[in-house]
Every structure is written in C-alpha cells, then in structure tokens.
Amino acid sequence: MAITDRDLMDALAPLTRPNMLELSRRLGVARNTLQARLDRLQRDGVVAGYEPVVDLKAAGFGVLAFMTLEIAQGQESSALHVIGTVPEVLEVHKITGPGDLFCRVVARDNEHLHDVVEAVLTAPGVTRTTTTLVLNSPVNRVSPSSAAVAALLGTNDQ
C-alpha cells in the first residue's frame, strides 16, 4: 500500500506525545508530579495536543498572506461554512474595524494565491476582500495543526 504525506501527517498527531521520564529528568521533578500537572493542563484545555511543527515553505507553500473579508449582513455563517472548506485558509478570525473576518492563508505561488482568493470569493455574502502578502516573518510562534497541513498536502498532489 502506498502512503501519502497526508496519511503520514494524519497519523502523526496522536503519536507525538512527550516522554515523561525524560522531561522529569530534564526538569528535576518526579515523573508522577509532572504527569499530574500535564494531565491538569490537558483537562483544562491549556494543552490541546501535540503535533509536528511543519515548515509550510518546505512543504511547497512559499506564499503567506492575510485576507480581510467584508461579509454581507446575515451571511456570516454561510460564508464561514464555505471558507472553512478551503484548505489553504489556515485561520479565520472575527475582527473589529474595517472588515469582518481576517484570514491567514498560504499558497504555492502567486497564481495559486489568486485561485485561493477566487475560492474564498465563492462564499455567499463575501462582498470584498483585501489581500496582504507577507514579505518576511521575523517572529513566528504559530504553527498550523497537523490536520490543516494534511488538508493542504492533499491540495499539493498534482
């Protein structure tokens, strides 16, 4: 059976758990103490999971952009439903100020970014988009989830 990158990313998420014995030695605390604290952080939702850190550029997605979307009144849920199916859209935030939604998107190149913008524009109620290209990311603390990357890798199979 042939395995795809997407299959691998889907399978990695539940496996990337920390080694509690190694962590307890490194931090100088008892393994049970560390485990209890980590269990509490997970139960409280502070730690939501363990996933691989993926370099999107190395995965073939060298263009990072942000899109501000204006949505017609009463159309937000319909628009979000469609936007959520576009794998290149990594994040969507409701915002104040000009625009209604702020999206972080990736693409292979500028032509692909154009296709992503067109896909977002098919969402009902999207009346206007403003796209800003990222030139450089000197501080980057956000990594997409492995599920988002798995969906993206599915779009990279040409």
Can you tell me the distance from the alpha carbon of 23 to that of 102, in angstroms, rounded to the nearest whole number? 37
Give the pLDDT confidence score for residue 157 in this predicted structure. Answer: 47
Please provide the size of the chain in residues: 158
Can you tell me the distance from the alpha carbon of 117 to that of 111, in angstroms, rounded to the nearest whole number? 10
The more confidently predicted of residues 16 and 139 is: 139
Coil, helix or strand at residue 23: helix
Can you tell me the distance from the alpha carbon of 62 to that of 64, in angstroms, rounded to the nearest whole number? 7
DSSP category for residue 88: T
Q: Residue 158's pLDDT band (boundaries 50, 70, 90)? A: very low
Model confidence pLDDT, tens digit, residues 1-19: 666 776 777 776 666 677 8
Structural domains in the chain? 5-43 (no CATH), 63-135+144-155 (3.30.70.920)
Answering whether pTM is above 0.75, one says yes
Q: Residue 25's pLDDT band (boundaries 50, 70, 90)? A: confident
